[in-house]
Amino acid sequence: MIVDIVAQKLPFPHRGKSTAEGAKMYRKPATRRPGLAALLAALFCAQGLSFLGAFQGTQAQGSKTARHASVVESLKNPVKTVSETIDDFYKGYPQPPVLPMYRTFLVDFITQTHLSNVDSRFQYDAIFALGMRQYYNGLMGNYDKLVMSDESEKIWKSLVTAIGMKPDQVSADAEAVAKYASSTTPAEILKHMEGTEKPSEGKVADAFESIKSSLYSITFSMGLFRIMELSGVEVTRANAEEWAKALKIEPTSKVTSDFETYKQNQVKLQKAEEMLREIEIREKKKLAERLEQKAKALAEKAANKASEASEESK
């Protein structure tokens, strides 16, 4: 019965309502009106009916409903929602506001990573960490230049913490995989992926093994693409497909479609950054013009005062 109430009466947590809020929406306490109760009692007595029995039945039903609502209120959603994660991100980084053109990308990134993290098939590994860092750097690479302040690292720490991970651990794992990729040949990496040889970096070995049975996501793909770059392999659709086969990822379209998505996001962001730079240049020109006009006005004012002082001295 309790499950029916939850399923039929409460909104799902991922739609932005907490269990307690849902229970409050469901519970509708009856209001007591003494005057009306007295009138009904008189009416029942006149008709030879038992008002007490009727009242007891109503009271019992109300008590039953209250008990059900109380149980529902006690239920808590064990899985953190996307909206809660996004709220935690903004709590961790309240000021200065994130530039509007970056908000959509950041929210998408938080959403994708959060959904992977709460999936029962997900298993964190060092290549996932490298993918997080690479994806973030790809989106936010020019952010500090645009805002003229070191804000991107603060945003990164708030983002990772909101998702439920440790920023220092993620960064350290990403660095370990990057070091492995930079010091390993592509041929050796393929052997490590296929399992014919083991990499010297244990975190990489664990990642290559676990991805065959755990949840595959675009973040892991970003880690693979970064390994390609660091090992001297051109990041192309064909090479991405070859590496997917070496890791026994089926279908290989999981990797190739992630590659296309990532490239499209980079192009969109580059265009947005170019537009922002153009706006910045225009604003600087306008500011320079205003300053020039102000300087002229001050010069004219000073000249007028000097002229007046000269006339008075004559």
pLDDT category at 48 given cuts 50, 70, 90 is very low
Query: What is the four-CA torsion angle of 8, 10, 14, 18, rounded to 10 degrees?
Result: -160
Greater confidence (74 vs 236) lies with 236
The secondary structure of 36-56 as a DSSP string is HHHHHHHHHHHTT--HHHHHH
pLDDT category at 289 given cuts 50, 70, 90 is confident
Stretch 158-183: mean pLDDT: 96
Report the C-alpha gap between 244 and 42 in whole angstroms. 82
Stretch 212-228: mean pLDDT: 91
Greater confidence (8 vs 115) lies with 115
pLDDT in tens, 99-131: 888 898 899 999 999 999 999 999 999 999 999
C-beta of residue 150 within 8 angstroms of C-beta of residue 144: yes
C-beta neighbour count of 178 within 10 angstroms:
20
**Tokens representing 216?**
């595959």
Greater confidence (214 vs 142) lies with 214
C-beta of residue 180 within 8 angstroms of C-beta of residue 130: no
Q: Cβ neighbours of residue 180 under 8 Å, at least 6 residues apart?
A: 199, 200, 201, 204, 227
Q: Cβ neighbours of residue 239 under 8 Å, at least 6 residues apart?
A: 228, 233
pLDDT category at 66 given cuts 50, 70, 90 is low
The secondary structure of 238-277 as a DSSP string is HHHHHHHHHTT-SSTHHHHHHHHHHHHHHHHHHHHHHHHH
Report the C-alpha gap between 18 and 81 in whole angstroms. 9
Looking at every residue in the chain, the average pLDDT score rounds to: 79
Considering only 23-32, 108-117, 139-148, 196-205, which range has the smallest mean pLDDT? Answer: 23-32
Q: What pTM was computed for the model?
A: 0.65
Nearest to 116 by CA among 64, 163, 180, 65: 163
- In angstroms, how far is CA 111 from the centroid of its own chain? 4
Please give the pLDDT value at position 41.
42
For the chain, give every domain's residue range.
2-74, 82-269
